[in-house]
């Protein structure tokens, strides 16, 4: 029976949810709960039986447990663990095995008895798996059952590897992985084709028997699935919804993962709101979208029947609210992303003065600039601003090996044709070929190969920026050191990257900065690149006068777009500009057709970019504003 929920604000939520400001705080709190449980059982002379998960989510929980072991004497001698799952087939000593993961992140740093560690065996012959699974269940029972099970959640809604279609009473068994789960794991395995198609996982029924269940989720990437798991109907399509049937479950999530819960996304549906400008804008655009009506046609009745009666009473009549929001949206639209010279700019997103601005576009990877804001880039250059572009990382992981060989072959042939010496190049080339021949999936490339791949992307980036209209001296290929370092080191310092960025900013002294604002993936390159720019600006603010007049605009679009109510500058593109942008993206030949990291979107980058900007234009049109071919969207970041 689903539980009763008597609180208004959380009335859409079918299980208890604790929300923390960030993943670090949440992880520490979960680790302390685990430690308290272990200590209280130790005090009674009892063992603690833990169900453990792998993946990115629990890493900081384990780190805090290790810290407590080292610094506070927390002992795991009386702890027995059962891991949720393991890929099948999988050798325990493989880099991607969950055995390796658990050893590296927890077991090898604590005093647990290795005989008390249980992880499904990925090496069994298929015919022995069923018996092994029964034995796994029996062992859990023989230790008195799980005291506490911790879980992550996959974007399919899987818990453990119980993918959509799993039964609520399922036990430990061999399962087939969902396609999206395999895409998410592709990076760890150096390509989706290397990800096993199967796994051995505890069942939903096994998880259910735990005396306490904590499911954790961090970052905006998990927000849509958290909404489904917490508020959706119980269904095998989203296995985590079965947890709604448990009385012993709690979701521990960070603010970003909570953003799509009704109480945050559309708070007017559950409680009285503080109607500030931003909330009104969000509510009115939401209402128009929900009813598929232009803003100026929304009625009092529409407001009253959609949880917005309080707004109508407090700030009405509703037609005035409609006009106010319509005007606000109208004022976001500008064909002058660098400001319109000699125009009244009181209602425009950018300042008119200085008429000729210095703008710098920071592009995390070498193609983000043209993919995400290529139209605006071209416009800024066309309108005579001094535009610079800074490619922050080399993007050298995303080039196919045979493309790299092709370029060296070209260099050898060219040198030969000019009667130049090729001996050293040929040695280099033959080393590369033999390395590539024996290369294991996900093996790090040699330095030479990485250099060639980086150079390929550099050439493409320069071609794209030239096509957009930039002179060579305004194109900066930064190749920030953190990018290569993070392939081999944990806890990379960004100091060098920040200093380099400060130096570039000082040499340009921009009036405008454009930076990628995709924060959904907290470990992703985009977030790191943004933090580096922000740190650099924050330091420069202390000493440099020009920083006061510098505005920072965020762009998105590589994976997702801003929501309409968030947009502060909307730059419309003509059909001709859409084409020019497409040609600029085409300069990135190594990323065309099938890129090395396509993500879970089968469309080519230029198609994704066009679809997204056309969708933004369609939304503006649907709200009753002008109908454009495409719109690029920006949000101002006030630092
Ligand atoms: C891991 C497991 C999975 C993960 C889930 C989330 O043992 O069973 O259910 O918890 O795929 O993965 P991350 O934490 O990497 O987002």
Looking up tokens 């084409």 gives: 579
Tokens of 239: 């296995």
Contacts of 208 (CB under 8 A, 6+ apart): 168, 242, 245, 246
> What pLDDT is recorded for position 3?
59
Question: Which of 23, 30, 51, 53, when mutated, tests ligand 1's pocket best, judged by the most ligand atoms within 8 Å of its CB?
Answer: 53
- Mean pLDDT, residues 213-227 taken together: 96
d(CA 473, CA 468): 14
The position carrying tokens 């260099």 is 411
Q: Is the model more confident about 188 or about 131?
A: 131
Instruction: Please report the pLDDT score of residue 2 as a whole number.
Output: 54
Handedness of CA 503, 508, 510, 514 (dihedral sign): negative
The DSSP secondary structure of 494-559, one letter per residue, reads -HHHHHHHHHHHHHH--SEEEEE---SSTTSHHHHHHHHHHHHHHHHHTT-GGGGG-EEEEE--SS
- Which stretch of 412-416, 459-463, 520-524 has the lowest confidence by average pLDDT? 520-524
Dihedral pair phi/psi, residue 219, rounded to 5°: 85, 160
Residues 358 and 388 sit within 8 Å (Cβ to Cβ): yes
Cis amide prior to 89 (ω within 30 degrees): yes
Dihedrals phi, psi of 402, to nearest 5 degrees: -70, -25
Residue 313 C-alpha to ligand 1 middle, in angstroms? 46
Give the distance (Å) from ligand 1 centre to CA of residue 109.
Answer: 22
Average of per-residue pLDDT across 119-128: 97
Alpha-carbon distance values, 301 to 182, 305, 307, 311, 319 (Å): 47, 6, 10, 12, 12
Using the 8-state DSSP alphabet, how is residue 284 labeled?
A: H
Q: Which atom of ligand 1 is found nearest the CA of 221? A: 16
Give me the catalytic one of 13, 86, 137, 163.
Answer: 163
| pLDDT surpasses 80 at 296 | yes
Max mean pLDDT range (7-21, 373-387, 517-531)? 373-387
Tell me what pLDDT residue 524 has: 85
Q: What's the gap in Å between 159 CA and the centre of ligand 1?
A: 7
Q: What is the torsion angle, in degrees rounded to the nearest 10, for the CA atoms of residue 287, residue 291, residue 297 and residue 299?
A: -70
- Name the CATH superfamily, with its identifier, for domain 358-397+445-637: LmbE-like (3.40.50.10320)
If 0-12 CB within 10 Å is exposed, 13-18 middle and 19+ buried, where does residue 421 land? exposed
- Nearest atom in ligand 1 to the alpha carbon of residue 55 is 15
CATH code for residues 3-263: 3.40.50.1360
Cis amide prior to 354 (ω within 30 degrees): yes
Q: Smallest Cα–Cα separation from 201: which of 171, 180, 165?
A: 171
> What pLDDT band is residue 4 in, cutting at 50, 70 and 90?
low
Best residue for ligand 1 mutational test, from 30, 50, 55, 196 (most atoms within 8 Å of Cβ):
55
Q: What CA–CA distance (Å, rounded) separates 130 from 119?
A: 15
Looking at residue 552, what is its pLDDT?
Answer: 98
- According to DSSP, residue 101 is labeled H
In tens, the pLDDT along 613-637 reads 999 999 999 999 999 999 999 999 9
Q: How far is the CA of 158 from the centre of ligand 1 (A)?
A: 8
Q: How many CB atoms lie within 10 A of CB 167?
A: 13
Distance CA 208, CA 246 (A): 7
Active site residue 25: no
Q: Are 340 and 481 in contact (CB under 8 A)?
A: no
At 18 the three-state DSSP class reads: strand
Residue nearest to atom 12 of ligand 1 (CA): 55
CB 80 within 8 A of CB 113: no
Nearest residue (by CA) to ligand 1, atom 4, is: 152
User: Does the structure show a pLDDT above 60 at 150?
Assistant: yes
Please give the pLDDT value at position 558: 62
pLDDT band of 593, cuts 50, 70, 90: confident
482 within 8 A of 528, measured Cβ to Cβ:
yes
Contact 609, 371 (CB under 8 A): yes
Q: Is it the case that residue 72 has pLDDT exceeding 60?
A: yes
% of the chain residues with pLDDT over 90: 90
SS3 493: coil
Ligand 1 neighbourhood includes 454 CB (under 6 angstroms): no
Beta bridge partners of 570: 333, 633
Query: What pLDDT sits at residue 381?
Result: 98
Residue 592 and residue 457: Cα distance in Å, rounded? Answer: 12
For the segment 360-384, the average pLDDT, to the nearest whole number, is 97
Ligand 1 atom closest to Cα of residue 58? 14
DSSP code of 275? -
Task: Report residue 487's pLDDT band, with 50, 70 and 90 as the boundaries.
Answer: confident
Kindly report the backbone phi and psi dihedral angles of residue 176, in degrees, each rounded to the nearest multiple of 5, phi listed first.
-100, 135
Evaluate: CB of 88 within 6 angstroms of ligand 1.
no
Q: Provide the percentage of residues in the chain whose pLDDT is more than 70.
A: 98
Mean pLDDT for all residues in the chain: 95
- pLDDT score of 488: 82
Question: Max CA-CA distance within the chain?
Answer: 84
Tell me if the bond preceding 317 is cis, omega within 30° of 0: yes
Where residue 523 falls among pLDDT bands split at 50, 70, 90? low
Ligand 1 atom closest to 57 (CA): 14
Q: Compare 180 and 563 and report the one with higher pLDDT.
A: 563
* Local confidence band at 1 (pLDDT 50, 70, 90 cut-offs): low
Q: Work out which ligand 1 atom sits closest to the CA atom of 52.
A: 7
Residues near 48 by Cβ (< 8 Å), separated by ≥ 6? 37, 38, 41, 42, 78, 79, 80, 147, 148
413: which strand partners? none
Determine the number of helices (DSSP H) and then strands (DSSP E) in the chain.
22, 17
Cα-to-centroid distance, 55 and ligand 1 (Å): 5
Tell me the mean pLDDT in the region 73-78: 98
Query: How far is the centre of ligand 1, averaged over its atoms, from the C-alpha of 101 (Å)?
Result: 12
pLDDT band at 103 (very low <50, low <70, confident <90, very high): very high
Say yes or no to pLDDT of 563 above 60. Answer: yes
Which pLDDT does position 133 carry in this prediction? Answer: 98
pLDDT-derived band of residue 601, with 50, 70 and 90 as boundaries?
confident
Global model pTM greater than 0.75: yes
For the stretch 270-287, pLDDT in tens is 999 999 999 999 999 999
**Higher-pLDDT residue of 611, 522:** 611
Other beta carbons within 10 angstroms of residue 120's beta carbon come to 28
Tokens of 536: 């650099």
Average pLDDT in the 126-153 region?
98
Cβ(161) – ligand 1 distance below 6 Å: yes
Q: Comparing C-alpha atoms, which of 218, 52, 222 is closest to residue 154?
A: 222
């Amino acid at each position: 029976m689903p539980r009763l929920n008597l609180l208004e604000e959380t009335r859409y939520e079918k299980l208890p949810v604790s929300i923390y400001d960030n993943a670090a705080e949440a992880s520490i709190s979960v680790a302390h709960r685990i430690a308290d449980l272990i200590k209280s059982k130790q005090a009674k002379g009892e063992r603690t039986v833990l169900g453990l998960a792998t993946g990115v989510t629990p890493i900081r929980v384990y780190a805090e447990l290790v810290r407590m072991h080292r610094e506070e004497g927390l002992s795991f001698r009386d702890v027995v663990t059962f891991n949720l799952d393991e890929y099948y087939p999988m050798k325990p000593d493989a880099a991607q095995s969950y055995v390796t993961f658990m050893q590296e992140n927890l077991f090898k740093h604590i005093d647990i008895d290795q005989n008390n560690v249980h992880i499904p065996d990925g090496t069994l012959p298929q015919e022995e798996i069923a018996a092994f699974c029964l034995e796994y269940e029996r062992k859990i029972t023989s230790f008195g059952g799980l005291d506490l099970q911790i879980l992550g959640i996959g974007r399919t809604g899987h818990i453990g590897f119980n993918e959509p279609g799993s039964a609520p009473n399922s036990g430990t068994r061999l399962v087939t992985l969902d396609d999206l789960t395999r895409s998410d794991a592709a990076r760890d395995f150096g390509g989706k084709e290397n990800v096993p198609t199967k796994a051995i996982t505890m069942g939903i029924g096994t998880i259910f028997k735990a005396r306490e269940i904590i499911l954790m989720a961090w970052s905006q990437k998990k927000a849509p699935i958290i909404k489904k798991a917490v508020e959706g109907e119980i269904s095998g399509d989203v296995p985590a919804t079965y947890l709604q049937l448990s009385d012993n479950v709690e979701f521990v999530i960070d603010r970003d993962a909570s953003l799509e819960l009704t109480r945050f996304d559309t708070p007017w549906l559950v409680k009285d709101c503080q109607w500030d400008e931003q909330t009104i804008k969000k509510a009115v655009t939401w209402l128009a979208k929900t009813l598929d009506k232009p803003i100026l046609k929304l009625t009092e009745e529409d407001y009253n029947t959609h949880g917005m009666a309080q707004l109508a009473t407090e700030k009405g009549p509703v037609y005035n609210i409609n006009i106010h929001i319509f005007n606000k949206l109208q004022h976001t639209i500008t064909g002058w992303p660098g400001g319109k010279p000699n125009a009244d700019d009181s209602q425009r997103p950018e300042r008119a003065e200085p008429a000729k601005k210095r703008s710098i576009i920071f592009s995390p990877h070498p193609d983000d600039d043209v993919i995400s804001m290529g139209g605006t880039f071209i416009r800024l250059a066309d309108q005579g601003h001094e535009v610079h572009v800074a490619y922050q990382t080399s993007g050298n992981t995303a080039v196919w090996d045979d493309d790299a060989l092709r370029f060296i072959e070209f260099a050898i042939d060219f040198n030969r044709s000019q009667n130049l010496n090729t001996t050293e190049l040929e040695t280099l080339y033959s080393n590369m070929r033999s390395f590539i021949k024996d290369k294991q999936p996900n093996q790090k490339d040699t330095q030479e190969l990485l250099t060639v791949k980086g150079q390929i992307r550099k050439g493409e980036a320069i071609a794209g920026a030239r096509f957009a209209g930039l002179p060579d001296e305004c194109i900066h290929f930064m190749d920030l050191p953190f990018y290569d370092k993070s392939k081999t080191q944990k806890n990379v310092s960004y100091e060098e990257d920040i200093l380099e960025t400060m130096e570039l900013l000082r040499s340009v002294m921009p009036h405008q900065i454009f930076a990628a604002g995709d924060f959904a993936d907290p470990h992703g390159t985009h977030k790191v690149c943004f933090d580096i720019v922000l740190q650099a600006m924050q330091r420069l603010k202390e000493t440099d006068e020009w920083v006061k007049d510098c505005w920072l605009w965020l762009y998105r679009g590589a994976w997702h777009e801003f929501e309409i109510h968030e947009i502060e500058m909307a730059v419309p593109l003509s059909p001709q500009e859409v084409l020019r942008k497409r040609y600029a993206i085409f300069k990135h030949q190594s990323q065309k057709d099938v890129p090395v990291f396509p993500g879970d979107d089968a469309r080519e980058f230029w198609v994704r970019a066009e679809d997204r900007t056309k969708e933004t234009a369609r939304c503006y049109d649907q709200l009753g504003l002008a109908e454009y071919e495409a719109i690029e969207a920006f949000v101002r970041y006030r630092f």
